[in-house]
Chains A and B, each alone.
Chain A
Amino acid sequence: MMSTTMGHEPNGTPGWPKTAKEWLFTLDHKVIGVWYLIASLAAFAVAGMAATLMRIELGSVGPDITSDGNIYNLWLTMHGAVMILGFQIPALLGFVANYAVPIMIGAKDMAFPRVNALSIWMLWSGILTALANLIIPDHFNGMWTGYPPYSLTDLAGNTALYTTVVVTIGMSSVLGAVNLASTVAFMRCKGMGWFQMPITVWAVFTANIMQLIFVPVLAASVLLLSLDKYLGFGFFNPEVGGDVLLYQNLFWFYSHPAVYVILLPFMGIIFEIFSTSAKNMVFSYKTTVYAFLAFIPASGDVWVHHAFIAGLPDWLRVLQSFTTLLISLPFGLLMLSLVATMYKGSIQYTGPMLWAMGGWMMLVFGGLTGIPNALSSVDYGISDSYVIMSHFHYVMAVSGSMAIFAGVFWWFPKLTGRRCKESWTKLSAIGFFVGMNVVMGPLYIAGIAGMPRRYMDYQQFADNTTIVNMQYISTIGLYITFASVLLMLFTWIHGMLKGEKSTQNPWGSQSLEWTSTALIAGQGNFPSPVSVAKDWHPYNYIDNPKPAFSSS
């Protein structure tokens, strides 16, 4: 019998562990979830600072704060890699998956609590290794994509660090994915069928299935980089019969699905908040679930749209241009379902709802601006320009961040027992939304005017008034965003320390984490095993049967 100090057998006491030892050696999925949250927010801070420095540098033509290409490219590499691998994926597949999913399905913990602890500490070591890149003299600056042959040159710096970070975080993700998928498949409480799971759970589950399929390919591709660079293997070296394009094919075979690994869970959060705020059943719930699942096959055959101009055969370009367009079907259905969930609702505009609406709106812009990029011939004019950069910031980076922060505000009362100040929450949501639109909207226009991405300067476009003006406006947007992030942090800290005490179910949710555990759930989540009836549903607000507890 496992000792109760390990933290996942029910002991009947609500609240967080009290000692540092319990926090460090915990097997409790909720505590591990919080560790994920801390790691991802720290990563957001670092990667956000990198973005801030870049945006200031780009505010005008010529050097503003640095004239050293290596320093700028370090910021750029750190921004991309840390935002994706350190912030978004751990926040969604770490924090949401670990903290929220088990309580949402009425489980006492994850299926493999020790594996879970291993995953989080592997993630931390991965993130700390990534941060070491800021200190070491031969820092890696080959971009988060690490394309060879550049990443194999001395100029790119320490490629082994890049390989190590990606493989470590990748292994952590695979372990987490096995764990989460098993948890959802086998640990649902008595009576909960597959189609009685919250959409968030479905979304995280689908994303983890995709991780299991695609992450190994990414791990392999970055391992090959180091084999090439340090042991002279030559997979990507044309002089000995290798091919530089092999890497791009392998890399994007994972990294396009990775977009959905991020997108699906954050859409899950938006669904959760939309449905609960409108007190309405998720529109056509089953169809919505199938639309999520459709991303698994649909995402496996579209990677070439990241390489339309990379010298691949024309037939492959037009073929995957078409398969890429097909993504619009499941995506469109999800977007319709989100809006239709509002129909005849009773919508309450709470702070988290405003954050979720911001994420949704960014997703609308992001989804639509994906359509031109999917057309191979249109892409010839905009590939590797700000059009692409702006598009994926809308569709994934900003919308994802807004949804993640919506989730943090959503579960904040469960995490702390207190409420954030609503007016500050709303103000920060509006500020972030406006700020990021002022950053990314003008950059889309600059992209149409020809501005390439990954540039530290643009003196060749000094006569191009569109580009020069848009860069300037974009930098103003940065300051608005920066201020709203500070306000958000302040709101969290204030809420944690001085916020008004929360009631048990502040949002009026029907999901188990709000209805059937203590506000701050203790070890084992539920004092005794919970069960739900056949006609119970997490989004039934009208005549939902109450969950029952067995006295075992």
Chain B
Amino acid sequence: MRNKSLLLKAWGLLVALPLLPSLVFAFQSTTARRASYGGLTPQAHWEELWTEVMWDITIIGGVYILVALVFFFAFKAKSKDGVGASPKLSLQAVIGWVMIPSMLFLGDDLFLYVKAYELHTQMREVPANAQEIKVTASMWNWNYDYGDGVDADNELRVPVGKPVVLRMISEDVIHSHYLDKYHVSEDVMPGRITWEWFMPDKIGKTVITCREYCGPNHSKMFGKLIVLSQKDYDAWMAEELAAVMDKNTSSQQVASITTGAPLSIKAVQ
């Protein structure tokens, strides 16, 4: 009896072993990179993790399916009334067959979790120098408000190389602001300001599109992210500001426009 319980304890220790290397490895790799995230942009970091996760599940799945296929071939019935001959499991074997796979799964879970947590930190910490743009969603339109009376529908222009944070609210139902190629989406809803940030790192155009079902024209609620060089962006901004000034002087309604915030955002602030 005493021997048996000792044996069980030994099992317990043994099966916890796979946890250790995976944890050590994951923590090491992440703490080393925490300061700068390895110099990766959030989107590159996301793609790196995505590739790792895909490898992870491909290897697990590959091994599992391979073993299964071997069994399916090897243990095909030889006669119509044959019966199986699976071994009877001892208590130790039962515990082992629970603990070892569980610890392997847990080890893999923790390994991926630590890495995903690191990415989470990067994607949910807005850099101090981020430019803030207000987004107002409505059926079926995206409005981008840069302040100083400059705003645009369904076209988001930003300068390359500078982080941007979007503060978002909806005038009607729930939408979700998805930036293609930046792997980021956040729901936009009435009564609550949500946000996402991204790092435009390449000059050019990408798709912005709604990712939360919002009615018959949900799939038509899209726009463009236009990343410009700083020079082009400044030129565009100057043009817009000039247009605002023109409008202001002609309509004499300076006060209400220069507050810069759409009505609905003010209402909940």
Q: Could you tell me which A residues sit within 8 Å of B by CB distance? A: 68-70, 72-73, 141, 143, 145, 147, 149-150, 153, 155-156, 238-239, 242-245, 278-281, 283-284, 286-287, 309-311, 314, 317-318, 321-322, 325-326, 328-329, 332-333, 335-336, 339-349, 357, 361, 364-365, 368-369, 371-372, 375-378, 380-385, 448, 450, 452, 454-461, 508, 541-542
In contact, A380 and B82 (Cβ under 8 angstroms):
no
Complex: A340 Cα to B93 Cα, angstroms: 13
Choose from B64, B102, B123, B211 the contact partner of A452 (Cβ within 8 Å). Answer: B211
**Shortest Cβ distance from B151 into chain A, in angstroms?**
21
* Chain B residues with CB below 8 A from A155, complex form: 139, 215-216
A279 → chain B closest CB, angstroms: 4
For the complex, give the distance between the alpha carbons of A145 and B44 in Å. Answer: 33
Q: Would you call A332 and B105 a contact (CB within 8 A)?
A: yes
| Partner pick for A381 among B81, B113, B183, CB 8 A cutoff | B183
Contacts of B49 in A (CB 8 A): 375, 377-378
B185 in complex: contacting residue of A309, A325, A448, CB < 8 Å: A309
- B255 sits at the interface (CB 8 A): no
Give, as a whole number of angstroms, the nearest-CB distance from A147 to chain B.
Answer: 6
Task: Determine if A325 and B86 form an interchain contact, defined as CB atoms under 8 angstroms apart.
Answer: no
Q: Which residue of B lies closest to A541 (CB)?
A: B83
B207 to chain A, nearest CB (A): 5
Q: How far is the CB of B188 from chain A (nearest CB, A)?
A: 8
**B190: Cβ under 8 A from any A Cβ:** yes
**In the bound complex, do residue A455 and residue B184 qualify as a contact, i.e. CB atoms below 8 Å apart?**
no
Whether B187 contacts A69 by the Cβ 8 Å rule is no
Residue B112 at the chain A interface, CB threshold 8 Å: yes
Contact B82 A279, beta carbon cutoff 8 Å: yes
12 contacts between A and B (CB under 8 A): A69-B215, A150-B173, A238-B268, A239-B190, A346-B79, A346-B83, A347-B76, A364-B65, A368-B57, A372-B57, A377-B119, A454-B219
CB pair A457–B219 under 8 Å, yes or no, is yes
Chain B residues within an 8 Å CB radius of A322: 109, 113
Q: Quote the shortest CB–CB distance from B96 to chain A (angstroms).
A: 10
Residue B192 interfacial (CB < 8 Å): yes
**A201 to B71, alpha carbons, bound, how many Å?**
26
Q: From residue 58 to 102 of chain B, which have CB atoms closer than 8 A to chain A?
A: 60-61, 64-65, 67-68, 71-72, 75-87, 89, 94, 97-98, 101-102
Q: Closest residue to A332 on the B side, CB-wise?
A: B105
Contact of B174 with A147 in the complex, beta carbons under 8 Å: yes
Identify which of A73, A153, A314, A361 contacts B124 (C-beta below 8 A). Answer: A314
- Report the nearest B residue to A330, measured CB to CB: B102
Known contacts A309-B187, A454-B213, A508-B81: does B123 contact A380 (CB below 8 Å)? Answer: yes
Residues of A within 8 A of B85 (CB): 280, 344, 346
B172–A457 touching, CB < 8 Å: no
Which A residues lie within 8 Å of B180 (CB)?
450
Given known A-B contacts A150-B214, A155-B215, A278-B75, A381 and B186 have beta carbons under 8 A apart:
no
User: Known: A311-B186, A375-B113, A381-B50. Is A542-B83 also a contact (CB below 8 A)?
Assistant: yes
Tell me, in angstroms, the Cα distance from A316 to B233 when the chains sit together. Answer: 38
Contact B185 A153, beta carbon cutoff 8 Å: no
Taking a contact as CB atoms under 8 Å apart, the answer to whether A321 and B67 are in contact is no
B212 adjacent to A347 (CB under 8 Å): no
A149 touches B172 (CB 8 A): yes
- Assembled-state Cα–Cα distance A120/B236 (Å): 66
In whole angstroms, what is the CA distance A238 to B173 when docked?
11
**In the complex the two chains form, what is the Cα distance from A252 to B94 in whole Å?**
35
**CB-defined contacts of B174 to chain A, threshold 8 Å:** 147, 149-150, 244
CB of B34 within 8 Å of the partner chain:
no
Residues of the B chain whose Cβ atoms lie less than 8 Å from the Cβ of A368: 57, 60-61
Give chain B interface residues in 186-228, CB to chain A under 8 Å. Answer: 186-187, 189-192, 194, 196, 207, 209-220, 222
A508 CB → nearest B CB, Å: 7
A383 CA / B187 CA spacing, docked (Å): 10
A311 to B139 CA separation, bound complex (whole angstroms) = 19
If A72-B216, A153-B172 are given as contacts, then 4 extra A-B residue pairs at C-beta distance below 8 Å, sorted by A number, are A343-B86, A347-B72, A378-B50, A452-B178
The 4 closest A-B pairs by CB, nearest first: A238-B191, A69-B216, A381-B183, A280-B84
C-alpha spacing A372/B86, complex, angstroms: 35
Check A325–B113 contact: CB distance below 8 A.
yes
Encode contact with A along B150-186: 1 for CB under 8 Å, 0 otherwise.
Answer: 0000000000000000000000111010101101111
* Binary contact readout B239-269 vs A (1 if CB under 8 angstroms, 0 otherwise): 0000000000000000000000000000010
B181 partner residues in chain A, CB cutoff 8 A: 450
In the complex, A371 Cα to B61 Cα: how many Å?
A: 12
Please state if A287 and B61 are interface contacts (CB–CB under 8 Å): no
Measured in the bound complex, the distance between the Cα atoms of B72 and A143 in whole Å is 41
User: Is A150 a contact of B213 with CB atoms below 8 Å?
Assistant: yes
Known A333-B102, A541-B84; contact A147-B120, beta-carbon cutoff 8 A: no
Check A364/B61 contact, CB under 8 A, given A149-B173, A383-B185.
yes
How many angstroms from the CA of A227 to the CA of B75 in the assembled complex? 59
Closest to B211 in A: A384
State how many angstroms separate the Cβ of A376 from the closest Cβ of chain B.
Answer: 6
Instruction: Please tell me if the beta carbons of A454 and B218 are within 8 angstroms of each other in the complex.
Output: yes
Pair A372/B50 contact, Cβ less than 8 Å:
yes
B237 in contact (CB, < 8 A): no
| Residues of chain A contacted by B172 (CB below 8 angstroms) | 149, 153
Contact partners of A150 in chain B: CB under 8 A: 173-174, 213-215
Which of B120, B189, B217 is A318 in contact with, Cβ under 8 Å? B120
Once the chains are docked, how many angstroms separate the CA of A333 from the CA of B105? 9
Q: How far is the CA of A109 from the CA of B87 in the complex (A)?
A: 36
| Given the contacts A381-B185, A454-B218, A461-B207, A344 and B191 also touching, CB distance less than 8 Å | no
Q: What residue of chain B has the Cβ atom nearest to residue A147's Cβ?
A: B174
A391 to B72, CA, bound (A): 25
Whether B120 contacts A377 by the Cβ 8 Å rule is yes
**When A343-B71, A347-B72, A365-B61 are in contact, do A378 and B46 touch as well, CB less than 8 Å?**
yes
- Give the distance in Å from the alpha carbon of A154 to the alpha carbon of B76 in the complex: 59
| Given A333-B98, A339-B71, A376-B116; A279-B84 close (CB under 8 Å) | yes
Please report the C-alpha to C-alpha distance between residue A222 and residue B68 in the assembled complex, in whole angstroms. Answer: 43
User: How far does the alpha carbon of A272 sit from the alpha carbon of B64 in the complex, in Å?
Assistant: 21
Which one of B60, B77, B191 lies within 8 Å of A243 (CB-CB)? B191
> A73 vs B220: C-alpha distance in the bound complex, in angstroms?
13
B214 touches A317 (CB 8 A): no
Q: Whole-angstrom distance between the alpha carbons of A131 and B75 in the complex?
A: 47
Q: Are B46 and A364 in contact (CB under 8 A)?
A: no
Judge whether B216 and A70 touch: CB under 8 Å: yes
Q: Tell whether, in the assembled complex, residue B218 and residue A239 are in contact, meaning their CB atoms are under 8 Å apart.
A: no
Chain B contacts for A283, CB-based, 8 A = 86, 97
- Whether B61 lies near A347 (C-beta < 8 A) is no
Q: Which residue of chain A has the shortest Cβ distance to B139 in the bound complex? A: A155
Cβ-defined contact, A348 with B77, below 8 A: yes
Asked whether A311 lies within 8 Å of B86 as measured between CB atoms, the reply is no
From A73, A328, A385, contact of B105 by CB (8 A): A328
- Distance in Å: Cβ of A223 to nearest Cβ of chain B: 20
Instruction: Give the contacting residue for B190; candidates A238, A309, A454, A458; CB below 8 A.
Output: A238
Q: Is B16 an interface residue (CB 8 A)?
A: no
A280 to B194, CA, bound (A): 55
Question: Complex: how many Å from CA A336 to CA B71?
Answer: 12
Q: Which residues of A contact B215 (CB under 8 A)?
A: 69, 73, 150, 153, 155-156
Give the residue among B102, B117, B189, B207 with the most A Cβ atoms within 10 A.
B189
B43 to chain A, nearest CB (A): 8
**Smallest CB gap from A328: residue in B:** B105
